[in-house]
């Protein structure tokens, strides 16, 4: 509400542009008087007020004017990611999330490079960190019918520069001659709303599939899609 344009009716009631548009006919949303005009004095006053960043609670100490803050928040390094552990409640920068998962929840941290295959636990919790760029990935698992659905997510702030990643998962099944496999696009998310709205594409591992049990591993390969390719 503390942003221009601001309007004022003949009786001195001040309203924001959104409320003025909602009531329509250039009438005051408080007394319904006609003839609202721009309140230049209030706008000038508001233009001098500095605001704290929306990520103040996560460590950002920036105070800026309203129009400058909008630009800052689009690239603020303190924009949070959220813990994927149910009901944990942790939120903070991505590098803090990695430390939180490793120390508080005892997740395994696996370093990797784009385009190179590595092994990871199929059903145990782990976080994958790109050695070159620091992005965090995680295999999200959920119950789906008579099996477990596996898909890859990249845990990134909401304001992160939009990039596309692809991944492959390969899992032995019923001996050396058979395996389950998927190749798809990674779902980018800060997990602000949890993991319930992930990708509709996943690798389904049936409960009764021979050779698949707790402690088994999956072969993973993550690639960053270069623009123009």
Tokens of 53: 């960043």
Cα dihedral value 204, 207, 209, 213, nearest 10: 100
Q: What is the pLDDT of residues 98-143, one digit of tens each?
A: 999 999 999 999 999 999 999 999 888 999 999 998 999 999 988 8
Tell me the residue range of the domain where 43 lies. Answer: 1-48
71 occurs within a structural domain = no
User: Contact, 49 vs 65, CB < 8 A?
Assistant: yes
Whether residues 109 and 205 fall in one domain: yes
Residue 116 or 228, more confident: 116
Residues 137 and 30 both lie in one domain: no
Which regions of 18-114 does DSSP assign to beta strands (E)? 37-38, 50-52, 63-65, 81-82, 91-92, 108-112
Domain-terminating residue out of 31, 48, 65: 48
Q: What is the pLDDT of residues 52-89, one digit of tens each?
A: 999 999 999 999 988 888 899 999 999 999 999 988 99
Total domains, the chain: 2
- What does the alpha-carbon distance between residue 149 and residue 91 come to, in Å, rounded to a whole number? 26
């Amino acid at each position: 509400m503390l942003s221009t344009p601001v309007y004022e009716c003949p009786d001195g009631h001040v309203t924001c542009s959104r409320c003025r548009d909602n009531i329509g006919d250039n009438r005051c949303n408080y007394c319904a008087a006609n003839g609202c005009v721009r309140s230049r004095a209030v706008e000038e006053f508001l233009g001098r007020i500095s605001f704290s960043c929306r990520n103040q609670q996560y460590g950002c100490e920036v105070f800026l004017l309203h129009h400058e803050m909008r630009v800052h928040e689009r690239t603020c390094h303190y924009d949070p990611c959220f813990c994927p552990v149910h009901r944990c409640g942790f939120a903070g920068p991505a590098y803090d999330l990695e430390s939180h998962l490793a120390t508080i929840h005892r997740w395994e941290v696996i370093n990797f490079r784009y385009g190179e295959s590595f092994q990871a636990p199929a059903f145990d919790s782990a976080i994958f960190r790109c050695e070159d760029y620091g992005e965090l990935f995680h295999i999200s698992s959920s119950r789906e019918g008579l099996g477990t659905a596996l898909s890859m997510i990249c845990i990134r702030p909401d304001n992160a520069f939009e990039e596309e990643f692809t991944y492959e998962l390969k899992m032995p099944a019923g001996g050396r001659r058979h395996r389950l496999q998927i190749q798809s696009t990674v779902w980018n998310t800060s997990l602000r709303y949890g993991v319930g709205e992930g990708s509709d594409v996943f690798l389904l591992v049936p409960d009764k599939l021979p050779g698949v049990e707790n402690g088994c591993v999956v072969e993973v390969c993550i690639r960053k899609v270069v623009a123009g390719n």
